[in-house]
């Protein structure tokens, strides 16, 4: 149980820069107002769980950048805390982080972030962690946010990982296991722009993110977050796998992203395992389009 993109305008290539680290490149970077067809980018976050070197590499082509994303990190209870819990990542930039081998936690992307010029307070329209700074310092993401979740060196020495939409969706994300043994080591995630087909009642709207001043969808809530009802939140009389079943809303997320968690008990097709692997988390990978909501 869990508690808790688009055609490229230049060909995607894979470039090996450091042993066991795969970086994504081949991008022409334009202004970013979101993961949409007009303003395309890739953000890559390379996670090396069995090494200690973390490398930050900026691969954009030096065009003027409108926005960056700001990944946040939350370590699980009783888990070694990381040296950073938040940092900025420019389009086409890749960053490596040093992760202990028995770590558990989650990562996500904050988007449409800004810092108040008077107070210095740092805030983001989606995925904000409420600290007022770039570091999340033990705080999680404010829903909706697409989550990458890991439990390393778990049962039978396997890593368990998933991409979750249980807390809603703010941008596409993929996890790729590189060089692993044991488990299935499958790629998982959500490469579809769910915001484009998000049901009206789940939409988070904003005018401040659009160059034209139009009201645009910046994130898509879960039904639990939108309505707070037990059948959507898997609580009260719906607090078991026998009683909490998929709804029209969770099936919308599942249709868009078949390998991602769509609701709390969506374990069967959404959890993946590997061992002795490095992991690459890619924000806004190439997409096959979007899925519309139907009732």
DSSP structure class, residue 230:
H
Tens-place pLDDT, residues 195-210: 999 999 999 998 665 5
Unique residue bearing structure tokens 């970013």 = 32
C-alpha–C-alpha distance, residues 91 and 67, integer Å: 8
Q: What pLDDT, in 10s, does the model give residues 221-245?
A: 999 999 999 999 999 999 999 999 9
What is the C-alpha separation between 65 and 61, in angstroms, rounded? 10
Share of the chain above pLDDT 90, in %: 51
Residue 57 has pLDDT above 70, yes or no: no
Do residues 193 and 291 lie in contact, with contact meaning Cβ atoms separated by under 8 Å?
Answer: no
Q: What CA–CA distance (Å, rounded) separates 198 from 252?
A: 9
Asked whether residue 28 carries a pLDDT value surpassing 60, the answer given is no
Nearest to 246 by CA among 229, 224, 268, 231: 231
SS3 at position 249 = helix
**Helices first, then strands: H and E counts in the chain:** 3, 17
pLDDT at 247: 96
The whole-number pLDDT of residue 99 equals: 85
In 3-state terms, what secondary structure has residue 21? strand
Q: Which two tokens stand for residue 15?
A: 């470039």
Residue 219's SS3 state is: strand
Closest CA to 106 of 127, 132, 130, 134: 127
Three-class DSSP labels, 102-120: CCEEEEEEEEEEEECCCCC
- Identify the residue with better confidence: 265 or 56: 265
Query: Residue 64 is encoded by which pair of tokens?
Result: 């003027």
| Rg of the chain taking only CA atoms, in angstroms | 18
- What gap in Å lies between CA 15 and CA 187, rounded to an integer? 18
**Over residues 101-130, mean pLDDT:** 93
pLDDT given at position 9: 23
Reply yes or no on whether the pLDDT at 59 is more than 70.
no
Q: Which tokens is 30 given?
A: 């334009």
Alpha-carbon distance of 179 to 161, in angstroms, equals 15
What is the DSSP code (8-state) at residue 267? -
Give me the domains of the chain, ranges plus CATH numbers: 13-283 (2.60.110.10)
Q: Yes or no: say if 139 and 130 are a contact pair by the CB < 8 Å rule.
A: yes
Q: Which residues contact 119 (CB under 8 A, 6 or more apart)?
A: none
Residues 153 and 141 sit within 8 Å (Cβ to Cβ): no
């Amino acid at each position: 149980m869990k508690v808790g993109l688009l055609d490229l305008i230049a060909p995607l290539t894979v470039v090996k820069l450091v042993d066991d680290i795969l970086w994504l490149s081949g991008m022409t970077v334009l202004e970013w107002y979101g993961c949409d067809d007009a303003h395309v980018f890739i953000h890559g976050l390379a996670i090396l769980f069995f090494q200690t070197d973390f490398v930050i590499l900026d691969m954009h082509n030096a065009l003027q950048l409108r926005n960056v994303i700001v990944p946040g990190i939350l370590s699980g209870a009783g888990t070694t805390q990381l040296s950073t819990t938040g940092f900025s990542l420019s389009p086409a930039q890749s960053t490596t982080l040093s992760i202990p081998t028995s770590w558990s936690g989650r990562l996500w992307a904050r988007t449409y972030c800004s810092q108040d010029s008077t107070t210095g307070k740092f805030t983001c329209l989606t995925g904000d962690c409420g600290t007022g700074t770039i570091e999340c310092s033990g705080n999680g993401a404010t829903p909706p946010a697409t989550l990458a979740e890991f439990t390393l060196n778990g049962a039978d020495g396997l890593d368990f990982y998933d991409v979750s939409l249980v807390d809603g969706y703010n941008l596409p994300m993929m996890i790729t296991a590189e060089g692993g043994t044991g488990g299935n080591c499958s790629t998982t995630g959500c490469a579809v722009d769910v915001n484009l087909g998000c049901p009206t009642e789940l939409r988070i709207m904003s005018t401040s993110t659009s160059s034209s001043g139009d009201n645009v969808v910046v994130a898509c809530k879960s039904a639990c977050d939108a309505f707070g009802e037990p059948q959507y939140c898997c609580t009260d009389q719906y607090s078991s796998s026998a009683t909490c079943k998929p709804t029209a809303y969770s099936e919308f997320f599942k249709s868009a992203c078949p390998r991602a968690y769509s609701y709390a008990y969506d374990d069967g097709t959404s959890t993946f395992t590997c061992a002795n692997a490095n992991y690459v988390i890619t924000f806004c990978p190439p997409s096959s389009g979007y899925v519309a909501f139907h009732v």
